[in-house]
Structure 1
Amino acid sequence: MDAIKQVGVRGLNHLVRSESWAHERLLKHSGAHVRVDAGLFSLGLGIDQHGLFQLAAGERSPDVTLSLPPDFAVRALFDRSKLFATVKLDGSVDVAESLAFVFRNLRWDAEADLAGVIGDIAAHRLVRIGQSLASALSNSLRNTAANIQEYVVEESGILPSPRELGSFGEAVGRLRDDVASLEKRLAKL
């Protein structure tokens, strides 16, 4: 497990090094400790004197705790725009604000990294293919969810349709009014 964590930290540091603003922002919080909680997975990080992340050694209490939702990995792949709205930050306000800003704005330039290995044109084409596949997968998942919803509501009748819910709500309202009217009549007797 430590090898996986080490690879993750190296990847994160690669992104930080590629953006000078992120590096400078983290450098201000040198010595801070961060704990990332993702259900069964927990990771302790420290910010070193170079403004980079390192695996935290020891049981020092964190300056900031990031609590990730259970569906974090899925959101990271398909809905990055709303990803950080679901992350809870606790602890030092300054460190938390800097971390939130850095994580929200860090972008991986996969094309630039691939270009160093396979060349500019091949990297460009490979990234475009990857983007097309990701878009197709996202559309397929969205369509599948819509089809399942349509089946469950319209075909099988397992769940009521919005129209049926509206009619039911109106009928309940009429029944409530009729019962109130009946109670008034009975009270007069």
Structure 2
Amino acid sequence: MATPSSPFSFLDDLFSRVGSRLQPPAWAVHEVQHRAVLFLNHVLQQEPEAQQRLLRQKGRVVQFEWRFVTMRLVATPAGLLDLAPEGAVPELTLTVTETSPLGLARSTLRGDKPAVRIVGDVQLAAEVNWLVDHVRWDVEDDLARVIGDVPAHTIGNGARRMADALRRFVGGRAAGRNAGGTGSAGVE
């Protein structure tokens, strides 16, 4: 007897089929990567220790991979990031091993780091890991610059409560499946 598949497995399969067939044009990929670098640098500029650590790594190239997405970044003399020049050889390659976008989102919502295969310089990998562990985007601070402190704080509190509830929900469903349950909520 076949096991019933969840709607999430259907969506995972759909993402895989669509993602492997539809490739965005090179200019669109470059623009998205450029915007990602601008965002990362904005976040890094809020953390002087992170910039000092990147400054020590200037000129070193790290390649990030997930499914068909690849991005090479280089540490700049300003302690920030830039897209690596075409043909630059990465000293470190980080590949996210979770191929399912929904699985990746699920683990992220639980607060888990995704599983990553690391190839290359161990010391550079340790610096990247420090950045991942210690650098956070202060959304509330950025929002306060636009709408003021009190509304930003109110929105931030609401967003944190929603995120916590979503984490508990996702964590509860995962615990139910791991315990042999169906993952559905029961009536009490």
1:121 aligns with 2:150: yes
Of residues 78, 83, 87 in structure 1, which corresponds to 2:113? 83
Measured after TM superposition, the shift of residue 60 of structure 1 is 1.8
1:112 aligns with 2:144: no
Per-residue Cα deviation, 1:115-146 (whole angstroms, up to 9, x for no partner): 11110000000011111111222233344456
Alpha-carbon distance in 2 for matches of 1:143, 1:75: 12
Instruction: Label 1:67 to 1:145 Cα distance change in 2 as closer, same or farther (>3 A).
Output: closer
Per-residue Cα deviation, 1:135-164 (whole angstroms, up to 9, x for no partner): 222233344456665348xxxxxxxxxxxx
Alpha-carbon distance in 1 for matches of 2:35, 2:96: 19
Per-residue Cα deviation, 1:158-184 (whole angstroms, up to 9, x for no partner): xxxxxxxxxxxxxxxxxxxxxxxxxxx
Gaps of 5+ in 2: 1-28, 184-188
Measured after TM superposition, the shift of residue 87 of structure 1 is 2.1
TM-score by structure 2 length? 0.71
1:99 aligns with 2:131: no
Alpha-carbon distance in 2 for matches of 1:27, 1:127: 32
- Where do 1:6-21 residues align within 5 Å? 6-21=34-49
Measured after TM superposition, the shift of residue 57 of structure 1 is 1.8
Identity of aligned residues (%): 28
Which SS does the other structure have where 1:150 is aligned?
A: coil
Structure whose CA Rg is larger? 1
Alpha-carbon distance in 2 for matches of 1:134, 1:61: 38
Higher relative contact order (CA 8 A, sep 6+): 2
Gaps of 5+ in 1: 153-189
Measured after TM superposition, the shift of residue 110 of structure 1 is 1.1
Q: Could you say what the CA RMSD is over the residues aligned between the two structures, in angstroms?
A: 2.0
Tell me the number of residue pairs that the alignment of Structure 1 and Structure 2 aligns. 149
Which SS does the other structure have where 1:102 is aligned?
A: helix
Amino acid at match of 1:118: I
1:66 is matched with: 94
TM-score by structure 1 length? 0.71
Instruction: Label 1:146 to 1:73 Cα distance change in 2 as closer, same or farther (>3 A).
Output: closer
- Where do 1:159-174 residues align within 5 Å? none
Which SS does the other structure have where 2:181 is aligned?
A: helix
Tell me which protein shows more helix as a share of its residues: 1
Instruction: Label 1:144 to 1:97 Cα distance change in 2 as closer, same or farther (>3 A).
Output: closer
